[in-house]
Amino acid sequence: MQDSLAESLREFDRQSRIGPVDIYPHMMKITFAMVGRSLFGARLKEEDIELISLAISTVQEFMVRQTIQPYLNPWFAVSGELRRHEEMRARAFGVLRDYIRRRRSEPPGNDLLQILMDARYSDGEGMSDELILSESMQLLVAGHETSSNALSWLLYLLSARPDCVDRVRQEFDSVLGEKPLSFSDVPKFEFTTQVILEALRLYPPFWMVDRIALADDRAGDLEIPRGSTVVVFIYGAHHSPQYWENPESFDHERFAKVNEKRHTPFAHLPFGAGPRGCIGGNYAVLQILMILSVLLRKYDFRLVPGQTIEARPMVILRPEHGIRMNFTESFPRGAGRLRTPEGDRLYVP
């Protein structure tokens, strides 16, 4: 994850020196490369990762159009749009299928794909290549768009709260010092975790989840006939004054340990709940912390004024017009300027 982050940040750094950057596509790129590396290791070529990434976003956008504008489906079929997207999907699957086959005959890697290939059911059987393909595609999709949206909203919220940014930086400094972040450090980030949870409350990437009732049921006064679609409106629960005081305001204190008991159960469910809840929550928090630890300590950042920031509920709650920000390299904290005959120099006391 660290290697992948270092590589992705080179491009981010180059762009941010030129002018304001839209953080949304950058966060997508960074998290996709990271999840791709965790899943498939460094042996999957960068151009293949890019092809898969493009296929996922293009096909997903098309699927949303098919759902929102179903009356266009006949047109998609005759105009060749459907076929074009099918082909794109097939190409991306083909690249991954070939990679999985190749890996079967190569020395073991240190990645999630290896774990999937080594996994055995209770009868000793392993997973077929097709199942591994489908599981890893699922992880790739579930593992980057969610975190990248969470990060984009988090940076947006933090841009209005320099006091929080300072405290997050202090926590990174005191927990990490100069060393890179690793998984065992995660529980030590008490304050930053509060900030992340509050951002996930205000902007839950999965703004709703749905289920189909397998049998007749009842919730309070509501009859739920078998076969109906039940929508759990996560965004609604997170913004309801019934469960939260001043629900629209950013207040990380809600998630301070002392206040935990005041929460209504299941009023905060960014990772879902029950047997089909998120299996990547810990990975996501690690990923967000890792990216924040580098971005916040390297840069000062400011929202470009005069832009409209709007949340658009697609499959994921995403910023409709992006979020443009200026990033400038910050001095190391505690650093100052040293006057010398040659001019000003940076010094770190």
Which window, 17-25, 100-108, 146-154, 328-336, contacts ligand HEM (CB under 6 A)?
146-154
DSSP string, 265-314: TTS--TT--GGGS-S-HHHHHHHHHHHHHHHHHHEEEEEPTT----EEES
Q: Assign residue 37 a region: left if phi > 0, alpha if psi is -120 to 50, beta otherwise? A: alpha
Q: Which parts of the chain are beta strand (E)?
A: 21-22, 209-212, 217-219, 222-224, 229-232, 299-303, 311-313, 317-319, 324-329, 336-340, 343-347
Decide whether 16 or 195 has the Cβ nearer to ligand HEM. Answer: 195
Which window, 2-10, 64-72, 90-98, 137-145, contacts ligand HEM (CB under 6 A)?
137-145
- Among residues 56, 284, 289, 303, the one that binds ligand HEM under rule CB under 6 A: 284
Using rule CB under 6 A, residue 271 touches ligand HEM:
yes
Residue nearest ligand HEM, CB atom distance: 280
Decide whether 312 or 345 has the Cβ nearer to ligand HEM. Answer: 312
**Going by DSSP bridges, is the β-strand pair 336-340/317-319 parallel, antiparallel, or unpaired?**
unpaired
CB 252 within 8 A of CB 198: yes
Using rule CB under 6 A, residue 117 touches ligand HEM:
no
**Residue 248 DSSP label:** T
Using rule CB under 6 A, residue 8 touches ligand HEM:
no
CB 168 within 8 A of CB 191: yes
Using rule CB under 6 A, residue 270 touches ligand HEM:
yes
Using rule CB under 6 A, residue 180 touches ligand HEM:
no
Which window, 53-61, 97-105, 163-171, 275-283, contacts ligand HEM (CB under 6 A)?
275-283
Taking the complex as a whole, how short is the minimal distance between the CB of residue 25 and ligand HEM, in angstroms? 17
Using rule CB under 6 A, residue 155 touches ligand HEM:
no
CB 206 within 8 A of CB 150: no
- Among residues 63, 279, 338, 348, the one that binds ligand HEM under rule CB under 6 A: 279
